[in-house]
Amino acid sequence: MKASYYGLILFISMSLSGCSIFNLQQDSQQLQKQLNSIQKWQVRGKLSVVSPDDAVTGYLTWQQDEEDFDLFLSGPFGQGSSRLVGNDSQATLTLPNEEPVQAPSAEYLMAYYLGWKFPVLDLRYWVKGQASPHSEFTEVRNTLGLLESLQQHDWRVEFSRYQSQGDTWLPGRVKIIGHDFKFIFAIKEWSING
């Protein structure tokens, strides 16, 4: 009698945990659809960058419209403001008191002129709390199906302080560690358009 009772308890527990795993997978798929549908947005917040040589903090306003991006950095970076504009096939960087410089990639411009290995094309996915489709990844999700951490081509990305934007949850803090750098983006304001 005891054995069948414990067997029943075990069966119910396994069934319930199976349901919760199924629901979590369903929730994750629904979240991915919601995040994929967000193609036009703007975020504002504070960006801290720690490298082997320096640590700086400034303010970032980022507008994304499909593939087109416009990043405006202000504060201690270069004693003024910098702007990075472009898409998947070209980018233009404007630094304080200098002529704009163009290159085939935003990553090249950031590395050459600012000394940062900054994953611009991947970050547009990471900032929304999702993996980039550009490479393989491993992830850890919380009980709500939201990303807690992500490992993707030698970067570790941690997500926290999720905030509700309509029926979608978006990160309020994104921490990116890798290649001897640490970027912390504390998002003060999300704006979703279209």
**Do 21 and 55 lie in a common domain?**
no
Q: Both 118 and 50 in a single domain? A: yes
Q: Are residues 43 and 1 in the same domain?
A: no
What single letter denotes the amino acid at residue 147? L
Domains contained in the chain, number? 2
Q: Is it the case that residue 18 has pLDDT exceeding 80?
A: no
Q: Are residues 95 and 118 located together in one domain of the fold?
A: yes
Query: Coil, helix or strand for 116?
Result: coil
Whether residue 171 is found in the same domain as residue 85: yes
Residue 32 confidence (pLDDT): 82
* Sheet of 40-50, strand order: 101-103, 91-94, 80-86, 68-75, 55-65, 40-50, 181-192, 173-178, 155-160, 147-152, 137-141
Q: Are 175 and 48 in contact (CB under 8 A)?
A: no
Alpha-helical runs (H) found in 38-167: 106-109, 120-126
pLDDT of 52: 87
Gap between the Cα atoms of 187 and 59, Å rounded: 10
CA distances from 134 to 13, 116, 126 (A): 38, 20, 12
CB 81 within 8 A of CB 73: yes
Phi-psi region of 145 (alpha: psi -120 to 50; beta: other; left: phi over 0): left
Nearest 5°: CA angle at 73, between 89 and 92? 25
Question: Are 47 and 32 in a shared domain?
Answer: no
* Same domain? 137 vs 108: yes
Tens of pLDDT, residues 35-61? 988 999 999 999 998 988 888 899 999
Residue 11 is part of which domain span?
1-36
10 shares a domain with 64: no
**57 lies in the same domain as 136:** yes
Regarding whether 186 and 136 lie in a shared domain, the answer is yes
The answer to whether residue 96 scores a pLDDT higher than 80 is yes
Paired tokens of 106: 């935003």
Question: How does pLDDT run across 100-141, given as a tens digit for each residue?
Answer: 999 999 989 888 887 777 777 899 999 999 999 988 999 999
Locate tokens 């036009």: which residue?
40
What pLDDT, on the 0 to 100 scale, is given for residue 77?
Answer: 54
Global pTM?
Answer: 0.81
